[in-house]
Amino acid sequence: MTAVQTGIGNVGTIKPRRMAFDMSQLREKYFFRGNPILSTLMYALSASFPDGERFFIDSVRHYQKDIKDPVLLEQIRGFIGQEAHHARIHEDFNDRAQVLGMAMDKVQRRLKGRLDTGRRKLNPSQQLAVTAALEHITATLAQWTLENPEPGDDDNRQSPLREMLIWHAMEEIEHKAVAFDVYKTAVGNEKQRIAVARFIFRMFWIQMAISQLMLLWCDRKLPSLKDIREAWAFMWGERGFRRWAAPEFSKYLRPGFHPSDIDQSKLIERWHLNYPEVAALQVG
């Protein structure tokens, strides 16, 4: 267990938790409110995790030898443990979605191709800047997930994703500053950090949309007008995710920003009390 001292307000631990989710609960292809746009958004996110998280691990591991601070070194170990486990769990979920008929293999193959291009064309410091920017996106997604959890009613029992996302979100907040602190210590180029993030924040939604279109196209599924309206409200409505997230993403672009400037500690301090049904799935 590792103490996290990220400066302002975030004190906790980076501790990989072994979880046992029942993937057979996923029985409906369009499990998320029965909406194909929202369901494929969840599939697109899940498809991006296994190879994305392996990219994160490799980009941080490259600089591990340059880090002397024992606290940060311990945090790196916690970060790697958590991300490796996230990747494995999302792989299981993606396999289950594939069995149901979603073209997860095609989407994952394309995303892996994009990441492999990144590995070839970007130098290690740029790859770490990509990771730090994507970690800000995941921490932002995590905050929204924990502040707006889907109700744990019978409808949501059709999928283990609600529990998976709550657990994943909590660990993303725990380790949100690790890649950033490694970048700050080993690279430190603020201009590059911001330029890379500006590009990544734009590309992220484009990549998600391409994955969604691929999944819908392969399933020959045309969303209804009602589906489109509901998805629009989810993203851009008064409490819509993207409307809320846009200024949260922008905070990262400010020179001198640090992830601990955004205090999310309240969301994870008592997670096992707030989500006992998720804590019950911990097996180690």
Binding site for Fe ion (CB under 5 A): 83, 86, 138, 172
- Residue 217, CA distances (Å) to 37, 45, 211, 212, 277 in order: 12, 17, 10, 8, 35
Q: Which residue lies nearest Fe ion, judged by its C-beta?
A: 86
Q: Which is nearer to Fe ion, 83 or 91 (CB)?
A: 83
Nearest distance in Å: CB 51, Fe ion: 12
Provide the minimum distance between the beta carbon of 207 and Fe ion in the complex, in angstroms, as a whole number.
17
Q: Which is nearer to Fe ion, 138 or 211 (CB)?
A: 138
Tell me whether residue 14 or residue 187 sits nearer to Fe ion (CB atom).
Answer: 14
CB closer to Fe ion out of 138 and 264:
138
Q: Which is nearer to Fe ion, 86 or 96 (CB)?
A: 86
d(CA 47, CA 203): 16
Non-local (6+) Cβ contacts of 244 within 8 A are 144
- Triad 203, 262, 1: Cα angle to 5°: 100
The pair of three-digit structure tokens given for residue 68, joined into one six-digit string: 């002397």
Q: How far is the CB of 69 from Fe ion (least distance, A)?
A: 20
Task: Go through 23-58 and write b for each residue having 16 or more CB atoms within 10 A of its CB, e for each that does not.
Answer: bebbeebbbbbebbbbbbbbbbbbbbbbbbbebbbb
Smallest distance, Å, CB 34 to Fe ion?
A: 27
Tokens of 172: 């993303």
Q: Return the axis-axis angle of helices 190-218 and 124-147, rounded to nearest 10°.
A: 60
Residues 6+ apart with CB under 8 A from 107: 43, 44, 47, 211, 214, 215
* Burial call 158-167: b when 16+ CB within 10 Å, e when fewer: bbbbbbbbbb
Please state the closest distance from residue 134 (CB atom) to Fe ion, in A: 8
Closest CA to 244 of 167, 145, 173: 145
| Minimum gap (Å) between residue 236 Cβ and Fe ion | 26
Min dist CB 123 to Fe ion, Å, is 22
What interhelical angle do 36-61 and 124-147 show, nearest 10?
Answer: 140
Taking the complex as a whole, the smallest distance from the CB of residue 141 to Fe ion amounts, in Å, to: 10
Q: Among residues 172 and 227, whose Cβ is nearest to Fe ion?
A: 172
